[in-house]
Amino acid sequence: LADEAAAQAIDDDAAQVAVANRAAAEAVAQDLTSMMAADDAAARVVAEDAAG
């Protein structure tokens, strides 16, 4: 029973780590998307300025 409880605790920890990693990866992806959107907006402003 002690071994089962220990194994369960390890499984629970692994699951929590996986969830945290997924959340971190999503945050990075959102940051990249925001940066790309900002770059697109900046490029549009430059293009509009160039067009006069």
Query: For 1-52, what is each residue's pLDDT tens digit?
Result: 889 999 999 999 999 999 999 999 999 999 999 999 999 999 999 999 999 8
- Residue 13 falls inside a structural domain: no
Evaluate whether residue 47 is within a structural domain.
yes
Let me know if residue 14 belongs to a domain: no
Please report the pLDDT score of residue 1 as a whole number: 87
In a domain, 49, yes or no: yes
Residue 41 in any domain: the answer is yes
Asked if residue 32 belongs to a domain, the reply is yes
DSSP state, 52?
-
Cut 0.75: pTM above it: no
Answer whether residue 12 is part of any domain: no
Range of the domain at 47: 24-52
The secondary structure element, H or E, covering residue 38 is helix 2-51
Per-residue pLDDT, 27: 97
What is the C-alpha separation between 45 and 52, in angstroms, rounded? 11
In a domain? residue 44: yes
